[in-house]
Amino acid sequence: MKSKKNIKSVIILAAIGIITLFFLNISLAANTATINVETANVRETEDSEGKILVQLSKDEQVEVLEKTNNWYKVKAKGITGYLREDLITLKDENTFNVTNEEQTTSTEEAKVENSEKKNTEQENTQEAKTLVAKNTKLKIVPAINATDIIEVKENEEVTIIETINDWVCIKTGTTKGWIRKENLKEEKQQEQTQNQEQVADANNEENTVEETVLKTLYVNTETVNLRKEANTNSEIVARLSVNTAVEVYAEENNWSKVKVNEKEGYISSSLLSDKKQETSRSMSTSRSQLEQQQTQQQQSTTVAPSTIGANVVETARQYLGCAYVYGASGPSSFDCSGFTSYIFRLHGVSLSRTAAGQYSNGVYVSRDQLQPGDLVMFGTSTSNITHVAIYIGGGQIIHAANKSTGVTISTITSGYYNNRYVGARRVM
C-alpha cells in the first residue's frame, strides 16, 4: 500500500514538473526579442546618453524583462541594461502591451511612421556630400561618450552613409564614424561657404603685395639670402646682390617680408637700407662697417639664447596643468610636439609638427651644454624619437607628458627620461 502511494506521488511530481517546464518555455519564448539594427547599445539607464554596457549586432537575441515608456529592460550576454524599443523586435508583440491596447496601437503607428520617415531620410541622404560645420571628433558609435576616432575639420567635405535620429554616419577618406547632425552644415550654409570661397578666389588677384607695400629698400651687403621663413635655418629662396631693390610689406621680429622679381620671402631687416650703397672706392669702408655689424650680430646671437630661452620657459610655465590630448596643439590642450610648437610659435619660431621632425630644427646641443629653452628629445634612438620637451634648467624639463598628468615638470637626471634621452636642439 505504501509503495502505491509513493508511485502516485512520483507521478504527480512528474506531471507538475512537465507543466512547469511547458509554461516556462512559453514565458521564455514570449520574453525573447531580436536586434533589428546593425548595432544596438545596451545602456545603464533609460537614456540615449546613458553609459554603454555592451553592443549587440543584428539578429542577436535578448531576454526582455520589463518595459518602461519607450525602453525595454533586457538581459544579454550576462549583462542587464536598457534598449530603446525601436532597436528590437519582440517574438510576441502583446507580451508587454495587454493593459492599454490604444496606447500600443498609437505607439506602433508612431514607430511605423518614424521608421518610414527614417528610411525616406536615409534614401535621400545616401552617399550625399556635405561639409563639416566646425572642428569635431568622429565617434566610433553614435553616442556622446563613445570613443573618438579622428578629428574632422571645419569645411571638410564628407560623405553621408546613414542617419539615425540626431546622429549621422559619415565617411572621410577611408574612415567611417558618427557625428552629431548639428555639426554638419545645412544646404544654405554650404552655399554660403562656397560663395565665400568663390569671392575669395575672385579677389585673390586683387589682394596683391603692391596694395600693402610699406616701402622700398635696398640690399646693403654684397650677398644676402632671401629665405622662405623668418629664421636663419629656413630654406633659401634666392640670393640677392648689393643694391637690389625689394618691396617690403611686413616687418616682424627684426625680419622683413619682401617681394623681389616675383619671389617672396624674408630678409633680416639689418641687411636692408633705405638708400643704395656706394660702389666706388669707398665701398671698402662700407664693407668694413658691414663686417663689423655682422660680427656684432653674431655676438648678440651667442648671448641671446639664455635670455630668450628664459622667456620661453616662463611662457611654458603658464600652461602647467593643461590637458594632454593626442594631436592637440593648444591653447588649452596639447600633445608633446603640439606643446613645444605652440610655445615657440608665440616667440616667433616655427617648428616641425612632430617630435621626430623637430629633431631636424635648429642646431645640435650636447647634453652638458643644455640651456633653458632648448628642445630635448627622447626615444630609443635618433631614428626613433617618440617624445619632445623644453629644458628649463637644473636637470628639469616642462612637457605635455601624458593623459594622467598633462603639462608637467619632470627630471632628466634619473629614471625614465634619463634612460631614454636621445639629444637636444637649440632653435633660438
* Residue of 169, 322, 347, 387 marked catalytic: 387
Angstrom distance (rounded) from CA 291 to CA 294 = 5
Helix (H) or strand (E) holding 422: strand 421-426
Angstrom distance (rounded) from CA 392 to CA 370 = 9
Place of cell 629665405: 227
Which residues 6+ apart lie within 8 Å of 378 measured at CB? Answer: 385, 386, 387, 388, 389, 417, 420, 421, 422
By 3-state DSSP, what share of the chain in percent is helix, strand and coil, each rounded to 5?
35, 35, 30
* Residue of 169, 322, 336, 347 marked catalytic: 336
Contact 196, 131 (CB under 8 A): no
Q: Is 387 a catalytic residue?
A: yes
Task: Report the SS3 class of residue 133.
Answer: coil
Contact 226, 213 (CB under 8 A): no
In the sheet where 157-164 sits, what is the strand order?
A: 128-131, 157-164, 167-172, 175-180, 136-139, 148-152
* Residue of 169, 322, 347, 399 marked catalytic: 399
Angstrom distance (rounded) from CA 76 to CA 65 = 11
- What length does the chain have? 428
The amino acid at residue 92 is: D
Q: Is 347 a catalytic residue?
A: no
Angstrom distance (rounded) from CA 329 to CA 337 = 8
Q: How many CB atoms lie within 10 A of CB 370?
A: 19
Contact 44, 51 (CB under 8 A): yes
Angstrom distance (rounded) from CA 293 to CA 239 = 19
Residues that are catalytic: 336, 387, 399
